[in-house]
Amino acid sequence: MKRYLVQTFGCQMNVHDSRRIEEVLGDHGYLPTEEAAQADVIVFNTCSVREKAEQKLRSAIGTYRGLKADNPDLVIVVAGCVAQQEGDKLLRQIPHLDVVIGPDNIQELPALVEHLRDGAPPMARTVFDMDAPRFLTAKPRTQAHEVTSFVTVMKGCDERCTYCIVPYTRGPERYRPAVDIVNEISRLVAGGVREITLLGQTVNSWHSQGSGEGESEFPALLARIAHEVPELVRLRYTSPHPRHLTPALTAAHAELSVLPKHLHLPVQSGSDRMLKRMLRRYTAADYLARVQGLQERVPGLTLSTDVIVGFPGETDQDFEATLQLVRDAGFISLFGFKYSPRPHTPALKLEDDVPESVKDERLQRLFQVVEAQQRAHLASLVGQRVEVLIETRDEARPERFSGRSERNELVHVDVPAGADPRGTLVQAEVIEAFKHSLHAVAMGAVPRRELPAQPARQPVRLPLASA
C-alpha cells in the first residue's frame, strides 16, 4: 500500500495545488497519511513570495534527513514556486531531495516517482505549459461534504510589480476557457460544494480564450457562473488587481446576489511615490475612488487588503500615507508584510535601505490600526442578525458550528441539539464580539443532516505568511 504526505507552504493557490497533488497521487494508487514515517512520498508544496517561506522549507526538509537515511526508498519532493525558482539548484543543495517540480508539472509527479524508483537519478521538471496550458481540475469530494472549494480561472501574471517574483515562478498570464470553469463549478456544486473561490494571480484580468487584449471580461464570467449554476450559494475570487476593478465589475457586485459583500483587494502602499516604485500603475486616490464607488453600489460591503512596509526608499511620510489610506478605506483586516528582496525582481536594483527595526515598528503600527478597525466593526454587529454559511463543527462542542458571513466575518454559531447545518445558510443573532470573530445563536429552523463522523483529511498547512 503506497502512502503520501503533503505539506503546504503559503497561499490559497498553494492549498488548491496541494489538493490537486493529492488527487494526482490518489489516481495512481496512493493513500494519504499524516505520519511521515509511514509515507512513501513526501511532498513540500512551496511559496516563494516571502523569504521566510524558503527558510522554513529548507528547515522542514532537513528534519527528514534521518528518515531518508533509514528508508532510502522514501521519495522527497519539492513542488510549487520555490521549486520553479530554484530548479536543479535545490537538488545540488539538498542531497536527500529526489524530485523538484514546478506548478505546471504537477500532473507528471507519479511518473517522475516511478522513473526514480526504476533507477533514474534525482530530477527537476520546471517547464511552463505555454503552448498548451493545462489547468488542474478539482474533483468533488462527496464523502467529505466539502462546503467550500477553489477553481482556477487563470495563472501567471503580466503586471511586473517590481517586488514580486510571481511572473518568474508562474510565467505570463494564461486564461482558462469559460466553459471549463463553469463545468468544473457545476460538478463541485453537484457534489455538495456551496461556495467557490475563483483563483488567479490577477484573477479579475481574465479574458476569454482568443479575445486578445482589452478590458477584462471577468464580470461576464461571473454573470455566466451565476446564471448557469444557480445552486451555488456564494462566489468569491482572489487575488484581484485594483486596475481591473472596472465599472462593469462594480456593477456585477451590485447586481449578482451570489457575490458576497466582501472584497480582498491588495493595495500594497498608500504612498503614490512608493506605488510608482512598485510599478502598481494606480495612485492612492485611484484606489480609494474605486473601492468607495463599490461601497456606494453595495452598502455594507467590507474590505481587506495586502500591505508591504519598508519597501526601498519608504520614508516616515510614505508610511503615514499608508496608515491614512488604511483608515480612509476602513479595512477590517489585512495581510501585512515586511519587504524582503526576492531573486529575479527589478527591486533588487534598489537599495534595501529601511532598517529591519524600522520595518518591525511600522508593521506593528499597521496591525494596531487595522485591529482597532476590526474590533470596532465586530462590536457594531452585536445584536444584529447575520447570514452564515456553515462550514465546520467544533468537535469539543457538538452544538457549535463555524462559518463565514456574507461580509466574511468568522462566526461561531450555537445551534439546537441534534442539528447539523453544515453546507447551509443559517440566520443567527450576534451575542458577542471576540478579537477576530463573532459568537452568535441560530434563529429559526436549523437543518438536521447525516454527515460522516470524521471529516476527510486536508493537506497539512504550515503557518507561513500568505502570498
The closest alpha carbon to 17, from 160, 170, 203, 185, belongs to 170
DSSP letters along 389-444, please? EEEEE-TT-TTEEEEEETT--EEEEE--TT---TTSEEEEEEEEE-SS-EEEEE-S
Higher pLDDT pick, 142 / 162: 162
Q: How confident is the model at residue 140 (pLDDT cuts 50, 70, 90)?
A: confident
Average per-residue pLDDT for the chain: 91
The closest alpha carbon to 74, from 33, 102, 125, belongs to 33
The closest alpha carbon to 134, from 180, 89, 83, belongs to 180
Q: How confident is the model at residue 212 (pLDDT cuts 50, 70, 90)?
A: low
Report the predicted TM-score, pTM, of the whole model to 2 decimal places: 0.88
In a domain, 458, yes or no: no
Q: Is the dihedral of CA 412, 417, 422, 424 positive or negative?
A: negative
pLDDT in the model for residue 214: 54
Higher pLDDT pick, 48 / 113: 113
End of a domain among 379, 403, 420? 379
Q: How confident is the model at residue 52 (pLDDT cuts 50, 70, 90)?
A: low
Q: Are residues 303 and 217 part of one domain?
A: yes
Residue 71 predicted with pLDDT over 90: yes
In a domain, 460, yes or no: no
In a domain, 407, yes or no: yes
pLDDT in the model for residue 459: 43
Q: Are residues 162 and 179 part of one domain?
A: yes
Burial 301-313 (b: 16+ CB within 10 A, else e): bbbbbbbbbbbbe
In a domain, 243, yes or no: yes
Q: Are residues 37 and 66 part of one domain?
A: yes
Residue 234 predicted with pLDDT over 80: yes
Which CATH number is 326's domain given? 3.80.30.20
In a domain, 341, yes or no: yes
In a domain, 454, yes or no: no
Note down the domain range covering 404.
385-442
End of a domain among 379, 402, 427? 379
Q: How confident is the model at residue 314 (pLDDT cuts 50, 70, 90)?
A: very high
Which CATH number is 421's domain given? 2.40.50
End of a domain among 362, 379, 396? 379
pLDDT in the model for residue 445: 79
Q: Are residues 117 and 233 part of one domain?
A: no
Residue 49 predicted with pLDDT over 90: no
In a domain, 136, yes or no: no
Which CATH number is 74's domain given? 3.40.50.12160
Q: Are residues 102 and 10 part of one domain?
A: yes
Q: Are residues 214 and 80 part of one domain?
A: no
User: Angle CA(157)–CA(348)–CA(203) in degrees, nearest 5?
Assistant: 15
Q: How confident is the model at residue 213 (pLDDT cuts 50, 70, 90)?
A: low
Q: How confident is the model at residue 463 (pLDDT cuts 50, 70, 90)?
A: very low
181 in Cβ contact with 225 (< 8 Å): yes
**pLDDT tens digits for 157-174?**
999 999 999 999 999 999
Q: Are residues 118 and 178 part of one domain?
A: no
Take residue 141 and report the three cell numbers written for it.
Answer: 469530494
Q: Are residues 263 and 213 part of one domain?
A: yes
Q: Are residues 279 and 164 part of one domain?
A: yes
Q: Are residues 362 and 422 part of one domain?
A: no
130 to 69, 173, 174, 282, 332: CA distances (angstroms): 38, 9, 8, 29, 38
In the predicted model, what is the mean pLDDT of residues 235-261?
Answer: 97
178: which residues sit within 8 A by CB, 6+ positions away? 208, 209, 221, 224
Q: Is 239 exposed, middle or buried (0-12, 13-18, 19+ CB in 10 A)?
A: buried
Q: Are residues 371 and 395 part of one domain?
A: no
Residue 210 predicted with pLDDT over 70: no
Q: How confident is the model at residue 57 (pLDDT cuts 50, 70, 90)?
A: confident
In a domain, 161, yes or no: yes
**pLDDT tens digits for 97-135?**
999 999 999 999 999 999 999 999 999 999 999 888 888
pLDDT in the model for residue 455: 42
DSSP letters along 24-64, please? HHHTTTEEE-S-GGG-SEEEEEE--SSHHHHHHHHHHHHTT
Q: Are residues 189 and 265 part of one domain?
A: yes
Total domain count, the chain: 3
In the predicted model, what is the mean pLDDT of residues 196-219?
Answer: 83
Residue 443 predicted with pLDDT over 50: yes
